[in-house]
A and B are shown apart, each in its own frame.
Chain A
Amino acid sequence: MHISDGVLPLAVTIGGYAISAGIAAWSARRIHSRDLPKIAVVTSAFFVASLVHIPFGPTSAHLLLPGLAGALLGPAAFVSIGLGLLLQCVLFQFGGITALGANAVMMGVPAVICGWFFQQVRGRARMPQAVAGGLAGALGTFLAAVFLAGLLAAGGEDFFGVAKLALAAHVPVIVIEGVVSGFTIGFLARVKPALLQSSFRDAAGLVHD
C-alpha cells in the first residue's frame, strides 16, 4: 500500500509533507535516547517486512506492520516509519519521493493511533497483551487503508469506492498482520516485557535526558 508519484495533486502532496513534518517533529521530541536501539531494530523490521509478499489470487499484497511498530514504539513510531518509507522509496522504488509525505501520514498516523490503543487496552498478563497486540496489528492496516482512501479522496477520487477496494485487497493482510503482531507481542511479553513500555505517559522523555 504505497501511493506512487503523480497520483496525488500538488496541494495534497504539499499538505502531506507539511503534516508529516509536524508530526515527525512531535514524534522526534518523544524519543528517549535509551530507546534508540529498539527504534532502529523496529525500523529495520518495518523496512524489510514490505518484501514479504503474500500471494492472493491474481495479485499479491505485502506485510506493512504499522500496528506492530506503533505498539512497540509509541509516538516514536512516526519517525521510524517515515525513515523506513524513505529508504523503501529510495532503494526499492516503492511509492514515490514526491508522495513520501502522504505515505508517511498514511502509515505513520495509524501506527501512533495503534500504539496509543495498545497502551490503553493491554493488561498486565501475557494473553491480554498478545490479544491487544493482534488487535493493534489488524487495526493498523485497516486504518492505513482508510487513510489511503481519505488521501485519494482529497485528490478527487470517490472515498467509499477507494476505501472498499483498498479494504477488500487488504483483508488477508489485515488477518495475517493481526496474527503476526499478536504472536510477536505475546513472545515479547514473555521474554522481555520492558520492550512493550512506550513513552506515551512520560512526555518529558527528550533525547538529551
Chain B
Amino acid sequence: MTRMQKGLAIGLLCLFLAGLSNPLWAQAPPENSTGEVIALLKEQNSALSADLRRIQREIAALRADLDQPGVKDVFAGIGYIFGLFGAAAFAASRRRE
C-alpha cells in the first residue's frame, strides 16, 4: 500500500466520521435555549418529587393498614381460645372418670 493510498483512506475515514457526527451537532440545542431547558427540567423535577411524596404517603398508610389485625386474626384467636379450653375441659372430664 503506498503512502498516497494510506492518506486517501485516512481522509475518507475522516470524512465519513464527520458525516456521521454532523446530524448530532444539528440536534444539539441552540445556545440561547439553555435557560428554557433548565426551567423545563426543574418543572419536571418538582412534579416528580410531588408524585413521589404522594406515593410515600400512600405506602405509609398501607403499612399502617397492614399492621391492623384483620378479621382472620380475630377468628384465629377466638378459635385458639375455644380450642384450648375445649382441650382443658376434655382433660378434666377424662380425669373425673
Listed in ascending order, the chain A residues whose CB lies under 8 Å from chain B are: 33, 36-37, 39-40, 43-44, 47-48, 51, 83-84, 87-88, 91-93, 207-209
Question: For the complex, what is the distance from the CA of A40 to the CA of B77, rounded to whole Å?
Answer: 11
Q: Is the Cβ of B95 less than 8 Å from the Cβ of A44?
A: no
Question: Which chain A residues border B96 with CB–CB below 8 Å?
Answer: 33, 208-209
**B16 in the interface (beta carbon within 8 A):** no
Question: Which chain A residues border B82 with CB–CB below 8 Å?
Answer: 40, 44
Among candidates B69, B74, B81, B93, residue contacting A84 with C-beta atoms closer than 8 Å: B81
CB distance from A18 to the nearest CB of B (A): 23
**B67 in the interface (beta carbon within 8 A):** yes
Beyond known contacts A33-B88, A91-B69, A93-B67: 8 more, CB 8 A cutoff: A33-B89, A39-B85, A44-B77, A44-B78, A91-B73, A92-B77, A207-B92, A207-B95
Q: Is the Cβ of B77 less than 8 Å from the Cβ of A47?
A: yes
Q: Is the Cβ of A88 less than 8 Å from the Cβ of B77?
A: yes
Q: Is the Cβ of A87 less than 8 Å from the Cβ of B80?
A: yes
Among candidates B67, B84, B86, B92, residue contacting A208 with C-beta atoms closer than 8 Å: B92
**B24 in the interface (beta carbon within 8 A):** no
Listed in ascending order, the chain B residues whose CB lies under 8 Å from chain A are: 67, 69, 73-74, 76-78, 80-82, 84-86, 88-89, 91-93, 95-96
Among candidates B74, B84, B85, B91, residue contacting A48 with C-beta atoms closer than 8 Å: B74
Question: Which chain B residues border A92 with CB–CB below 8 Å?
Answer: 69, 73, 77
CB distance from B69 to the nearest CB of A (A): 4
CB distance from B66 to the nearest CB of A (A): 11
Q: Is the Cβ of B92 less than 8 Å from the Cβ of A33?
A: yes
Question: Which chain B residues border A91 with CB–CB below 8 Å?
Answer: 69, 73, 76-77
Among candidates A33, A47, A93, A207, residue contacting B81 with C-beta atoms closer than 8 Å: A47
Among candidates B67, B69, B84, B86, residue contacting A83 with C-beta atoms closer than 8 Å: B84
Question: Which chain B residues border A33 with CB–CB below 8 Å?
Answer: 88-89, 92-93, 96
Question: Which chain A residues border B93 with CB–CB below 8 Å?
Answer: 33
CB distance from A78 to the nearest CB of B (A): 15
Question: For the complex, what is the distance from the CA of A91 to the CA of B77, rounded to whole Å?
Answer: 7
Question: For the complex, what is the distance from the CA of A48 to the CA of B73, rounded to whole Å?
Answer: 10
Question: For the complex, what is the distance from the CA of A87 to the CA of B82, rounded to whole Å?
Answer: 12
Question: For the complex, what is the distance from the CA of A208 to the CA of B92, rounded to whole Å?
Answer: 6
CB distance from A108 to the nearest CB of B (A): 16
Question: For the complex, what is the distance from the CA of A84 to the CA of B78, rounded to whole Å?
Answer: 9
**Leading 5 A-B pairs by shortest Cβ distance:** A40-B85, A33-B92, A92-B69, A91-B73, A87-B77
